[in-house]
Amino acid sequence: MRQSRPPLARMQHIDRELRNNCYPNCTRVACHFEVSSKSIQRDIEYMRDMLNAPIDYDKKKKGYFYKKDWAFLTSAFIDRQEAEALKATKKVLSRYQGTPYYQEISSALDKVLQYLPATCSENGILDIYSFEQPASSEIDTKTFTLLDEAIRNSWKIAIAYRAPSKQAETERTVHPYRLHYDQSKSTWYLIAFCELRQATRTFAVNRIRSITP
């Protein structure tokens, strides 16, 4: 006997069927979960009436369908305050445009924000806030990615580095520990054990000219 599942699991199944254009109906879904058709009817009514799911019924195909795109998880679990918090995150994140991982995080937020419930108006409390864009040092994406990989894989690497007080580059063999962003200086730093100095040192990432794994 199939174990009874909570309404959320049933609604997730219904959402999946609707998204795949399978035209589910109460009888078929009820059979799948071994519950009554009335239980499934209540699930669908909850999705439509409480979550504003654009569900309609096709008499010819004898099943339900989505009239337009809709995100079940977002609409089900994000309320107005949480939506405003996400918008705040997006707005604060814009201060760091051009820094590593900005594009990936921004893209992930956009995917959620585009499916916010209709009750979450664009003209919210965040309109009274503004943020100044800080000046940040340019970071080579390839350099940052190599440092990230070196830390995650515990690699020893050789770097060509130009210190602020020197024009000439020096070769250093280092064991990277951490990437640190100094907000006061708008600069990324590599914290690593330096074999030359036999001590932990901090290197400005924008002054690293090359990396050899």
Report domain extents, the chain.
7-76, 78-128, 141-212
Average pLDDT, the chain: 83
pLDDT in tens, 45-92: 999 988 888 999 999 999 999 999 877 655 556 666 777 777 778 777
Asked if the domains 7-76 and 141-212 are classified in one and the same CATH topology, the answer is no
- Any bridge partners for residue 57, and if so which? 64
- Any bridge partners for residue 191, and if so which? 178, 202
pLDDT at 128: 63
Q: How far apart (Å, rounded) are the C-alpha atoms in residues 156 and 213? A: 7
Q: What is the dihedral of CA 15, 20, 25, 27, to 10 degrees?
A: -90
Query: What SS3 class is residue 132?
Result: coil
What CATH number labels 141-212?
2.30.30
Q: Which of 83, 79, 71 is nearest to 11 (CA)?
A: 71
The CA–CA distances, whole Å, from 52 to 12, 21, 75, 107 equal: 15, 19, 8, 25
What pTM does this model have? Answer: 0.55
pLDDT at 39: 94
pLDDT at 117: 55
Domain 7-76 annotated CATH 3.40.640.10: no
Tokens at 41, concatenated: 């009817």
Neighbouring residues of 17: CB distance < 8 A, sequence distance ≥ 6: 23, 24, 29
pLDDT at 153: 95
CB of 161 closer than 8 Å to CB of 170: yes
Q: How far apart (Å, rounded) are the C-alpha atoms in residues 22 and 15? A: 10
Give the whole-number percent of the chain exceeding pLDDT 70. 78
CB of 18 closer than 8 Å to CB of 55: yes
Question: Does 4 score more than 50 pLDDT?
Answer: no
